[in-house]
């Protein structure tokens, strides 16, 4: 079906690459007016969208953008960071940065944009969590898993609080997705471990029961469903798309 988001206004964070960019492109292709943001505005080049720089770690910047944009129909929260290590590798700075970017950024955008969504009569909020969360524990993802579990809790709380006021809030929990971010992490792990990038990449692939990495477009397709009216009876749910990783 074409035009699944026709007439809707969508606001996206971290739309410069990976899942965020694929989702911005798909939302625009399906008829939405897309407002795409990223910390680095240059990464948004080529998108059919209103492209803006935004630091989601700044409450002032998020509030100012919400005031400027006004009411919208879809909020897609994609900004995040993957910290590697156990509790022994996690400094207070690592903990604070991870929670600020992975969780508090969503708190900021939801708090800033929700009043206008409520005044408009409803909307859909889609948050990117992870299979590495309350769903499954994975070695060397201590603070990352904690933040993504918090995103699930945040999602359910927002859904429960505003279920009778037209707001739906859902979370997507991806497995390992091919993206520029993954490429950077593979390069860093190869350097720190002394293994080749091919060996590190193979290890990522082998832990996927389905036998391959996921794609950003597959996650965008799920985001489209949750953003559209097709999912109008769905709220407060986690949607696992991980190639069987949680089995």
> Which of 190, 215, 221 is closest to 203 using CA atoms?
190
DSSP string, 98-155: HHIIIIIHHHHHHHHHHHHHHHHT-EEEEEE--SBTTTB--TTBHHHHHHHHHHHHHH
Tell me which of 142, 144, 225, 233 is the catalytic residue: 144
Is 144 a catalytic site residue? Answer: yes
The residue whose two tokens read 């953008």 is 65
CA 134-58-103 angle, 5° bins: 5
Tell me which residues are annotated as active site. Answer: 144
């Amino acid at each position: 079906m074409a035009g699944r988001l026709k007439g809707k206004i969508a606001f996206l964070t971290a739309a410069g690459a990976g899942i965020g960019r694929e989702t911005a492109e798909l939302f625009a292709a399906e008829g939405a007016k897309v407002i795409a943001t990223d910390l680095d505005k240059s990464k948004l080049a080529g998108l059919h969208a209103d492209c803006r720089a935004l630091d989601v770690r700044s409450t002032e910047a998020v509030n100012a953008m919400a005031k400027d944009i006004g009411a919208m129909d879809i909020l897609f929260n994609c900004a995040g960071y993957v910290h590697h290590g156990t509790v022994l590798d996690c400094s207070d700075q690592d903990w604070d940065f991870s929670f600020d970017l992975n969780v508090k950024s969503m708190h900021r955008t939801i708090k800033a944009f929700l009043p206008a969504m409520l005044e408009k009569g409803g909307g859909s909020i889609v948050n990117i969590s992870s299979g590495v969360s309350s769903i499954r524990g994975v070695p060397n993802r201590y603070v990352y898993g904690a933040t993504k579990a918090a995103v699930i809790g945040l999602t359910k709380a927002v859904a429960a609080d505003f279920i009778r006021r037209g707001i739906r809030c859902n979370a997507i929990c991806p497995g390992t997705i091919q993206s520029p971010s993954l490429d950077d992490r593979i390069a860093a792990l190869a350097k720190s471990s002394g293994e080749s990038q091919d060996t590190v990449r193979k290890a990522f692939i082998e832990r996927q029961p389905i036998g391959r990495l996921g794609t950003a477009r597959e996650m965008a397709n799920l985001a489209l469903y949750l953003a559209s009216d097709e999912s109008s009876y769905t709220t407060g749910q986690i949607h696992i798309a991980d190639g069987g990783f949680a089995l």
